[in-house]
Structure 1
Amino acid sequence: MQTVDEIKQLLHRNKLRLHQELLQSKEAYHLIKKSTHSHLTEEEKLKIKIQLLDICKAIPAFTVFMLPGGALLLPLLIKLIPDILPSAFKEDPEIDNK
């Protein structure tokens, strides 16, 4: 069983990761909006592609989480299929140390 401090640390870490994912989604939105009136660089196109793939990964994870018992099932799926999580939620020592 985890201590209260460990749970607080996990919640804080996931809050930072969620914030990072939202910032990336916002950037992708602005790049898509920009693409309607000008050409994007290859780097910008790659950012959009990565973020759209992250959004597509988040939908099944969210669906599993919403199922009855999904909160217990999702960690098992993450162990079996590590690519189910968006890139912001993968282990990142930089975020973990903040």
Structure 2
Amino acid sequence: MRELEGLQPTALLAIRFAPMFEGTRRSDTGYFHSVVLHPDGSGEDSWGKAPLQDIAARFGVIEFKTNDDEHRRVMNKLRTNTPENFEKALEHAREIIRQYRQ
């Protein structure tokens, strides 16, 4: 989305989960998901555009923060751990974005 639409990607970091979601897997930093940010403050992921609170709620998160550096760190880790898979997934994402956002 950054390449094709110019939207800023960021990580969502959990601060607090709803009681039934406290065991949800996340990194030591609290990373649980990445989105792109729209100028109006909403986020967008593969489920579409929505308020950031709604996106976080899908993961049981009731308090969170955003962090651009953490998003870059996660993407770099994916890129270096499995470069072939990362490139295939990135190209697939580009195709989907081109198909459904035009």
Please state which structure has a larger fraction of its residues in helix.
1
TM-score, length of structure 2 as denominator length: 0.24
